[in-house]
């Protein structure tokens, strides 16, 4: 035996409240808060029973309703406040929000009709979607992320902590630069590391390359998507000595 | 160049143009005034309407575009298959409505009106280029402002935001 559960979909707490107000044929300016709060909470309880994820906004609204209900229990001060203003109806702000939200909810039908009408007009070049093609990846001006992915491909084991000396990083920086200078056509990241690099070696080199990229002394290049990443000399010399000192 | 020749050229431009052709652009190409270009486009539009053929010229997003007549949509769909991109979800449409009528507007302001988080809906709209970032609001945090795009006008077949159906009054 099968059964169907019909779950109404509400965009949010305001949508649900408007639904309750309409269903109960309530004057929006005189919402019986106690009754509506109860119905609202009933909905939340049902959803929970069906394990439907509740957006936190629904709970915030539940709290708001409780607060309004509590405030409504206190005898309303008939006298005006010293400022000469009348004590505000605790429901006023909520009513204002509901009315404002309802304007957009109501105009949706017209917009959907426009959307539907326009979908019937095919402009030039309404070609069907062809099979997904492999996006053309840039092979120049790669980002540090690309380099990081190449690095992760080399480090297969989970990362653990390794102590590095500042001095060795400075040395490696000079080494990398020296290597790259010697290969005017560019040197691949893999070759720079050499065969079977030790883990600290790997990290040191990676850090050195990152630092040199930051200083714009290096450029990254790729012959084709997913290909080897090549390092070559950047325009860094000039920008590094930027007199403004920001870099 | 006679009026009819100019009109024929504009017709050719309409077919070739990948985006709605503005009278301004047509005027540049034909070396005539913008007013004349607009007149040509509107004359052409009337002709197509009178002919009741397979095409219509639609005034949309500050330009004119050649589209198939909605009456024959079923047949065009047979040719092209069902539309690849589906219509907007309710949440996206609602968010779009708020941006359209109230934009430029911040995300927080959209959320205040809708009463729900609207990050995902906005991301969808940005991705579909129906909404764009339109600078930042001066003040604490300088939040990003969102506004609708030319694509938004084309999507709903509107000339400008003034063509939007009027927002209902705030009546009980």
Q: Could you give the CA distance from residue B41 to residue B34 in angstroms, rounded to a whole number? A: 11
Residue A80: predicted pLDDT? 54
Residue B50: predicted pLDDT? 95
Domain at B90-162: CATH architecture: Orthogonal Bundle (1.10)
Chain-centre distance for alpha carbon A191: 37
Instruction: Kindly state the DSSP code that residue B21 receives in the 8-state scheme.
Output: B
Question: Which residue of chain A comes nearest to B15, CA vs CA?
Answer: A124
Cβ contact, residue pair A123, B67, below 8 Å = yes
Residue A1: predicted pLDDT? 45
Residue A148: predicted pLDDT? 75
Q: Which residue in the set B18, B91, B165 is minimally distant from A11, CB to CB?
A: B91
Q: Are B50 and B14 in contact (CB under 8 A)?
A: no
Model confidence at B127, pLDDT cuts 50, 70, 90, reads very high
Alpha-carbon distances of A144 from A217, A233, B82, B130, rounded to whole Å: 14, 16, 41, 31
* pLDDT beyond 50 at B159: yes
Cβ contact, residue pair B68, A102, below 8 Å = no
Residue A156: predicted pLDDT? 62
B89 reaches A (C-beta below 8 A): no
Give B-chain residues touching A128 at CB under 8 angstroms: 80-81, 84
Q: Is B19 exposed, middle or buried (0-12, 13-18, 19+ CB in 10 A)?
A: middle
Quick one: average pLDDT of B10-39? 94
Question: Which residue of chain A comes nearest to B18, CA vs CA?
Answer: A124
Residue B48: predicted pLDDT? 96
In chain B, list all ranges with CATH 1.10.10.10.
Answer: 3-79, 90-162
Tens digit of pLDDT for each residue in B35-78?
999 999 999 999 999 999 999 999 999 899 999 999 999 999 88
Residue A241: predicted pLDDT? 40
Domain at A144-240: CATH architecture: Orthogonal Bundle (1.10)
Q: Which residue in the set B66, B98, B169 is minimally distant from A104, CB to CB?
A: B98
Cβ contact, residue pair B113, A101, below 8 Å = yes
CA angle A70, A71, A74 (to 5 degrees): 95
Give B-chain residues touching A114 at CB under 8 angstroms: 156-158, 165
CATH class as words, domain B3-79: mainly alpha
Phi-psi region of A197 (alpha: psi -120 to 50; beta: other; left: phi over 0): beta
Q: In which residue ranges of chain A is pLDDT below 50?
A: 1-2, 128-134, 237-247
Residue A73: predicted pLDDT? 77
Mutation for A interface: B65, B115, B155, B160, most A CBs within 10 A: B115
Give A-chain residues touching B170 at CB under 8 angstroms: 99-100, 103
pTM: 0.64
Instruction: Provide DSSP, chain A.
Output: ----------SSHHHHHHHHHHHTT--GGG--HHHHHHHHHHHHHHHHHTTPPPPHHHHHHHHHHHHHHHHHHSPPP-SPPTTSPPPPPTTHHHHHHHHHHHHHHHHHHHHHHHHHHHHTS-BTT-PPPPSPPPPPPPSBS--HHHHHHHHHHH--SPP------HHHHHHHHHHHHHHHHH-TT-EEHHHHH-SS--HHHHHHHHHHHHHHHHTT-EEEEESSTT--EEEEE-SHHHHHT-TT---
Minimal CA separation from B97 to chain A, in Å: 6
User: Which tops the pLDDT comparison, B98 or A183?
Assistant: B98
Q: Could you give the CA distance from residue A81 to residue A87 in angstroms, rounded to a whole number? A: 7
């Amino acid at each position: 035996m099968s059964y169907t559960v019909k779950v109404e979909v509400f965009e949010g707490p305001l949508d649900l409240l408007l639904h309750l107000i309409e269903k109960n044929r309530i004057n929006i300016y005189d919402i019986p808060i106690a009754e509506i709060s109860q119905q609202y909470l009933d909905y939340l309880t049902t959803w929970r029973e069906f394990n439907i994820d509740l957006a936190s906004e629904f709970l915030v609204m539940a709290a708001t309703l409780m607060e309004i209900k509590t405030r409504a229990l206190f005898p309303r001060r008939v006298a005006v406040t010293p400022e000469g203003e009348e004590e505000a109806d605790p429901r006023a702000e909520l009513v204002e929000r509901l009315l404002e939200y309802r304007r957009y909810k109501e105009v949706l039908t017209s917009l959907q009709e426009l959307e539907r009408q326009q979908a019937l007009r095919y402009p030039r070049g309404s070609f069907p979607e062809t099979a997904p093609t492999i996006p053309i990846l840039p092979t120049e001006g790669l980002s540090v992320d690309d380099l990081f992915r190449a690095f992760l491909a080399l480090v297969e084991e989970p990362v653990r902590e390794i102590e590095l000396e500042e001095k060795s990083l400075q040395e490696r920086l000079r080494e990398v630069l020296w290597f790259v200078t010697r290969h005017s056509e560019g040197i691949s990241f893999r070759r720079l590391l050499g065969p079977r690099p030790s883990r600290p070696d790997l990290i040191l080199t990676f850090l050195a390359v990152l630092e040199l990229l930051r200083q714009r002394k290096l450029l990254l290049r790729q012959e084709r998507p997913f290909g080897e990443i090549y390092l070559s000399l950047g325009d860094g010399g000039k920008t590094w000595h930027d007199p403004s000192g920001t870099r | 160049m006679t009026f009819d020749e100019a009109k024929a050229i504009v017709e050719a431009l309409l077919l070739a143009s990948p985006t709605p052709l503005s009278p301004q652009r047509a005027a540049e190409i034909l070396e005539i005034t913008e007013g004349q270009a607009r007149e040509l486009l509107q004359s052409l539009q009337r002709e197509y309407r009178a002919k009741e053929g397979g095409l219509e010229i639609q005034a949309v997003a500050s330009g004119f575009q050649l589209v198939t007549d909605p009456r024959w949509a079923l047949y065009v769909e047979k040719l092209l298959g069902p539309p690849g991109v589906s219509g907007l979800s309710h949440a996206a449409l609602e968010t779009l409505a708020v941006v359209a009528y109230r934009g430029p507007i911040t995300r927080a302001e959209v959320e205040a009106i809708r009463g729900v988080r609207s990050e995902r809906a906005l991301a969808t709209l940005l991705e579909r280029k129906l909404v764009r970032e339109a600078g930042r609001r001066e003040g604490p945090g300088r939040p990003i402002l969102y506004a609708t795009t030319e694509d938004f006008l084309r999507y709903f077949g509107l000339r400008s935001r003034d063509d939007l159906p009027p927002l209902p009054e705030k009546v009980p």
